[in-house]
Structure 1
Amino acid sequence: MSSGRVLFAVVAVVVLAVDRVTKGLVTANVTPGTALTAGPGVQIVNTHNSGAAFSLAPNATLFFLVASLVVAAGLLYYIVRNPVGSALGGTLGLVMGGALGNGYDRLVHGTVTDFIAVSFWPVFNIADSAITLGVLLLLFGYLRRQRSA
């Protein structure tokens, strides 16, 4: 097994675990409708989102559950069928862990728990952060390769 595939699996599992633990802690310790200050301009809240990021399409829970499963299956297929280096494996692991984290919430609870509130941004969670970072890193890598070509 290549180092890229190992890193893919490790990063995906770590993101999923951290996402599940943090959502569990928030659900158990933060009453919906209240906010805890975590730092300057950052609060921990307990909100539930049935749609996509930023509460887009709130009545499309099934669509986003299926999308999470399709993304996860596609990433797994890609990783198994193609050689991947460590950087790509880790990056795709971020997206996989995030897709599985939010997909789990949609499957089990029908909504996604969001809890990080930054004054200038909609409420989000660890899975959202991992997906966003993974996609940005993929885009950056693509643009970098295009400049080199």
Structure 2
Amino acid sequence: MRKKSIIIIFAVFVLDRITKYFIVKNFYLGESVAVIENVFHITYITNTGTAFGLLQKYGNILLIFSIIAIILISILIFIKKDISRLNQIAFSFILGGAFGNLFDRIFRGEIIDFLDFRIWPIFNIADSAITVGIIVLFYHSLFSKKISE
């Protein structure tokens, strides 16, 4: 299962990098193109905060927090023996997303966002992977206890 974690982490990171590279090379900052008018746009923005642009003023603290989170999640995935397969997959998505945004934070000083559903803050592939991982962890923690009772 550890190999699958590496594949998931790598796939999320690479997909995040490719999409952000495409946006930077083909859009100017602030440009927005409707894919489905008033529903989904590709909008190139940057932020110094967390997922969905939260906590904008804490960039340096978030860099340190990101590194600590990556270390802790890596320990969970690769060292801890009694982690469930589903949790391992969820943490792999979170870790892949964390690496994607950490890369931006280190090399750009800001995060590239572009997925714009108009009713939600603009986000990216890394944010999506982190969110999916958290939802799976939450779901698993709620329902795995009920099943075992």
Identify whether the pair has TM-score above 0.5, normalized to the shorter chain.
yes
The whole-number CA distance in structure 2 between the counterparts of 1:80 and 1:117 is 34
The whole-number CA distance in structure 1 between the counterparts of 2:118 and 2:55 is 22
Deviation sequence 1:50-70 (CA, Å, 0-9, x none): 112232221211111111111
What 5-or-longer segments of structure 1 have no aligned partner? none
Give the equivalent residue in structure 2 for 1:28: 25
Letter in 1 for 2:87: L
Give the equivalent residue in structure 2 for 1:88: 87
Matched-pair identity in % = 28
Taking only aligned residues, the RMSD between alpha carbons, in angstroms, comes to 1.3
Is 1:49–1:112's contact at 8 Å kept on the other side of the alignment?
A: yes
Deviation at 1:85, TM superposition (A): 4.5
Deviation at 1:91, TM superposition (A): 1.3
Q: How many residues align?
A: 146
Is 1:32–1:46's contact at 8 Å kept on the other side of the alignment?
A: yes
Is 1:7–1:89's contact at 8 Å kept on the other side of the alignment?
A: no
Is 2:77–2:92's contact at 8 Å kept on the other side of the alignment?
A: no
The alignment status of 1:144 with 2:143, answered yes or no, reads yes
Q: 1:18 aligns with which of 3, 15, 18?
A: 15
Is 1:102–1:112's contact at 8 Å kept on the other side of the alignment?
A: yes
Deviation at 1:119, TM superposition (A): 1.6
Taking structure 1 as reference, are residues 54 and 79 closer, same or farther at Cα in structure 2, changes over 3 Å only? Answer: closer
TM-score by length of 1: 0.92
The whole-number CA distance in structure 1 between the counterparts of 2:130 and 2:13 is 11
Is 1:7–1:86's contact at 8 Å kept on the other side of the alignment?
A: no
Letter in 2 for 1:74: L
Is 2:93–2:132's contact at 8 Å kept on the other side of the alignment?
A: yes
Give the equivalent residue in structure 2 for 1:42: 40
TM-score by length of 2: 0.92
Letter in 1 for 2:117: V
Give the equivalent residue in structure 2 for 1:65: 63
What 5-or-longer segments of structure 2 have no aligned partner? none
